[in-house]
Structure 1
Amino acid sequence: MKLILYSKPGCHLCEGLQEKLERLAGVGDLDFELEMRDITTRAEWFEVYQYEIPVLCCDREGIEHPLPRPSPRASDSHISRLLRQYSS
């Protein structure tokens, strides 16, 4: 599974979610590739996500599907359940 995290430098919510995802990568049956996308590098990303980051998407066959935004307080196990739910 490929995950895309839209973020920008200095976003503490983005950094928190990135850290959780990096801890979960390859743990147990979770197998995903994480691609980070800085919204400040492309005008179209900035236009769409400037007020929404962090935005986590699952890429299925080249089509991005936004996942529900987890709470900044969500535990690793909560994020893990979310990823399992949307990977099937």
Structure 2
Amino acid sequence: MVKNSFISVIPQEEKEENSGSAEFQVFHFTSKIRRLTLHLELHKRDFLSQRGLLIILGKRQRLLTYLSNKNKGRYKKLVDQLDIREQKTR
């Protein structure tokens, strides 16, 4: 259901072409991260879920880095829309 709410924002002609876009993948990873975070608040000793969460966080971080290098405007818009912190610059 959450996925459909994000897709409805995208115009119809772009849906078919951009279903694997970086923005959509970051949105999908963010929803998974939020679900796993809620799960880990209840089950603190679920170490396999913790490992899965760290893997997903790394994938999202790599996608955000890619997006920020390619197009800063799209990156800023996505970070604001998903209410996530911006990356630290080295």
TM-score, length of structure 1 as denominator length: 0.25
- Bigger strand fraction: 1
Pick 1 or 2: higher relative contact order, CA cutoff 8 A, min separation 6: 1
- Bigger helix fraction: 2
Q: Which has the larger radius of gyration?
A: 2
